[in-house]
Chain A
Amino acid sequence: MKILLIDEDKASMAYYIQELKESGFEVDHAREPDAAFKFLDAGGTKYELIILDSALPPGQKYKEGKTDTGTVTGGLVFDDVRVQLPTVPILVLTNFPELDWIREARAKPNVVVVKKLDQMPSQLVETVREMVRNRKKG
Chain B
Amino acid sequence: MGTESKSLELKTVARSDPLGDAYRVLKGNDPLAQRLRRQVWRSMWARNSLNDWFSKSSSDPEFARALHQAIPKGDPELLEEMLAIVSSIERENPIASYIAGLLNERISQCRPSSMAVAKQWLPWADSPGTPGRISAESYKGYACASVATRDGKPAKFVEGIANLPMRSLCRISVWLQPERPEAGLFDEIQVVGIDQDFVTFGFEVDCATLDFAYGRKQRYFHKLSRSEDVGFEFRAPVKSGVHMIYLHIFNGQRLVKSLVVAVRISAPRSWKRSASRSA
User: Hey, which bits of chain A sit against chain B, CB under 8 A?
Assistant: 8-15, 17-18, 21, 27-32, 34-36, 38-39, 55, 57, 59, 68-71, 95-96, 98-99, 116-117, 120
Contacts and interface: CB of A to CB of B under 8 A. Distances in A.
Contacts of B9: 10, 14
B2 interface: yes
A-B pairs with lowest CB-CB distance, top 8: A31-B2, A35-B2, A95-B70, A32-B2, A11-B48, A69-B66, A12-B48, A29-B4
Contacts of B13: 11, 14-15
B60 interface: yes
Given A32-B2, A70-B63, A95-B69, 8 more contacts: A9-B48, A29-B3, A29-B4, A35-B3, A68-B62, A69-B63, A71-B63, A95-B70
Given A15-B23, A71-B63, A120-B38, A55 B6 contact: no
Interface string B55-79: 0100110110110011010000010
A127 B72 CA distance: 22
A69 B2 contact: no
B243 to A, nearest CB: 16
Interface of B: 1-4, 6, 9-10, 13, 20, 23, 37-38, 41-42, 44-45, 47-49, 51-52, 56, 59-60, 62-63, 65-66, 69-70, 72, 78, 159
B4 A31 contact: yes
Contacts of B4: 10, 13, 29, 31
Contact of B2 (A11, A30, A68, A71): A30
A93 to B, nearest CB: 12
A99 B10 CA distance: 31
B56 A38 contact: no
Nearest to B72: A117
A134 to B, nearest CB: 25
A69 B69 CA distance: 12
Contact of A116 (B49, B56, B62): B49
A34 B45 contact: no
Contact of A27 (B6, B38, B44, B72): B6
Q: Is the interface of B mostly helix, strand, loop or mixed?
A: helix
A69 B65 contact: yes
A120 B20 CA distance: 12
15 contacts: A8-B52, A9-B48, A11-B47, A11-B51, A34-B2, A35-B1, A39-B3, A55-B56, A69-B65, A69-B66, A71-B63, A71-B69, A95-B70, A96-B69, A99-B66
Contacts of A95: 49, 69-70
A32 B59 CA distance: 15
Given A35-B1, A55-B63, A69-B60, A15 B20 contact: yes
Contact of A117 (B37, B42, B62, B66): B42
A39 B37 CA distance: 33
A12 B41 CA distance: 10
Nearest to B5: A29
A71 B66 contact: yes
B80 to A, nearest CB: 15
Contacts of B47: 11
B45 A29 contact: no
A88 B37 CA distance: 31
A31 B3 contact: yes
A93 B45 CA distance: 13
Contact of B45 (A8, A28, A35, A117): A117
